[in-house]
Amino acid sequence: MNGLFCANFAHARECWTPCCQVWCGVCYCNHPLDRFPRFLPVDEGGFDWRPVEDTLRHTHARDGDHLITPFQCDTCVFRNLQRRNPLPSSLVDDMLLCCIRRINLDAMWGREPSTVASTLRAMGHMVKMWARVGLSPAFPPLGPYPVADSFGFAVAISMVMKSLEPGKYASHQQFETIRKLRAAYSNVFMASLAGTGSLRTVGGDRAKYFLTDSPTQSLFFERFSRGCLCRMGQIVKQDWAIPLSVVHALLDTLESDWRAAQLLGWKERELISMLGAYVVTAFCGSFRGNEVFLADMFGTAKYLRATDTPENTIIVPLLGRFKGETGERYHLTPLAAVTSSGIQVKTWLSRLVELKTARGYVRGPLFGDDKGLVVRAKAIELELMERLQGIKDSQPGLIPSDVDIYEDFGISRSFRRGATSTARIRGVDDKYVNLINRWRNFEEAKGRRPTLSMQDHYSDIQILLPELMKFSLAL
């Protein structure tokens, strides 16, 4: 009762020779080949001052783990997967056993030591109470399990093996990357004969829950996923939040480039105007990087000419398929033509529209190339990075010395994070920050929204205009 034991003895007797492996908690420890990533929190000087018991997390089991997490010993899991015993001196089999041990330990560490200890202690109390009145222990059997991979070990093995590959920000892949393998298997299982035959739904029109027999949705797999995440940790590398002062320096640089480009060809002028229009739209609209490229040329030109739009307002129409929504939709975002700090939003957008219109380009993406295709985001990002690096070199102190432009800046999030932070510093209430992004979460509406025409959206915008303008005006 106090230790881990193989819950698959009957399975072993039926199919192979007995699997007589019994462990106490501390003896069930890392496999000798275990090189799987393990997060070790240290201070900025690289020193780990945690208690000794914390440094041993995920390296061994605890007495009572088998009472709270489904458990099969390494050999039994190997037999379930390979239908044979492990071969002696086989590096491939040894690595498979190493993966199985790692997965079992991760599943056990999906629960905290205090939870395991309290369960073990309570079980001991129950056994004593039953003994006093002559009752035999009434616990349900902990095995045998079917001779099959009912826990999802095969998918878990692919995940831990994937974690050994080099990652972008570390020597290994992150959990957010390896968990996609689980999602892929679950999708395939749902489409399979077994998946469609076992799938059940519960719920109404607004919310549905799917019940499935997929092994990746088992209790064991949930515990493994949680334990694996706790062991690996997460390296979150956010894009640098570009401050308002740097945005102005960047726009000043682009303004100088624009004046110099008047002596050059239309391609150079269009590139500079596109960079300026991108910066003001991304920052003042608090957009993610890819969302700016959804700006529509025809709609932008239309609302620049509109006589019923307030003088200090410019409407940026976005057309595309948005996260969390279905179908193609128009989204109109009003921005201040000139912000309180002097960002010339309308000027930059007008320059880009006028150049494109002069060349006969009246429809398609606003940020489009001469073939009418959306420009590559990486090309825009590199152009902006070069100018930001120039600002850092020429204006010491404006950009912190520890900011690596080519590593820390990204159009994906830098402008949005900078705009949101600036708005809050300047006293903009969070409700206005959320409102400017209402097309991502349409005023917290539940259920489906109808697909409306651009004119219908424009009528709606005119009513909300005073509220929607508070964000960009403050920048």
Tell me, yes or no, whether 254 and 187 share the same domain: no
pTM: 0.66
**Domain boundary residue, one of 232, 260, 282:** 232
Q: Which CATH number is 355's domain given?
A: 1.10.443
**Domain boundary residue, one of 232, 257, 292:** 232
Tell me, yes or no, whether 279 and 147 share the same domain: no
Classify residue 438: in a domain, yes or no: yes
Identify the CA nearest to 163 among candidates 233, 219, 220: 233
Domain count, the chain: 2
Tell me, yes or no, whether 393 and 327 share the same domain: yes
Predicted pLDDT at 173: 87
Close Cβ partners of 211 (under 8 Å, ≥ 6 residues apart): 198, 199, 200, 201, 202
Classify residue 419: in a domain, yes or no: yes
- C-alpha 38, offset from chain centre: 20
User: Mind listing the pLDDT tens digit for each residue in 208-257?
Assistant: 677 888 889 889 999 999 999 998 887 766 778 889 999 999 999 999 99
Q: Which amino acid is residue 348, in one-letter code?
A: W
Domain span including residue 228: 4-232
Low-confidence ranges of the chain (pLDDT < 50): 1-18, 20, 322-328, 439-452, 456
Please say whether the beta carbons of 383 and 275 come within 8 A: yes
Tell me, yes or no, whether 366 and 392 share the same domain: yes
Classify residue 238: in a domain, yes or no: no
Burial of 262 (0-12, 13-18, 19+ CB in 10 A): exposed
Predicted pLDDT at 8: 41
Task: Tell me the two tokens of residue 86.
Answer: 């492990």
Cα dihedral: 444, 450, 453, 455 (round 10): -50
**Domain boundary residue, one of 232, 252, 268:** 232
For residue 240, the surrounding DSSP H or E stretch is none
Tell me, yes or no, whether 393 and 467 share the same domain: yes
Tell me, yes or no, whether 297 and 264 share the same domain: yes
Tell me, yes or no, whether 52 and 134 share the same domain: yes
Classify residue 30: in a domain, yes or no: yes
Classify residue 103: in a domain, yes or no: yes
Classify residue 239: in a domain, yes or no: no
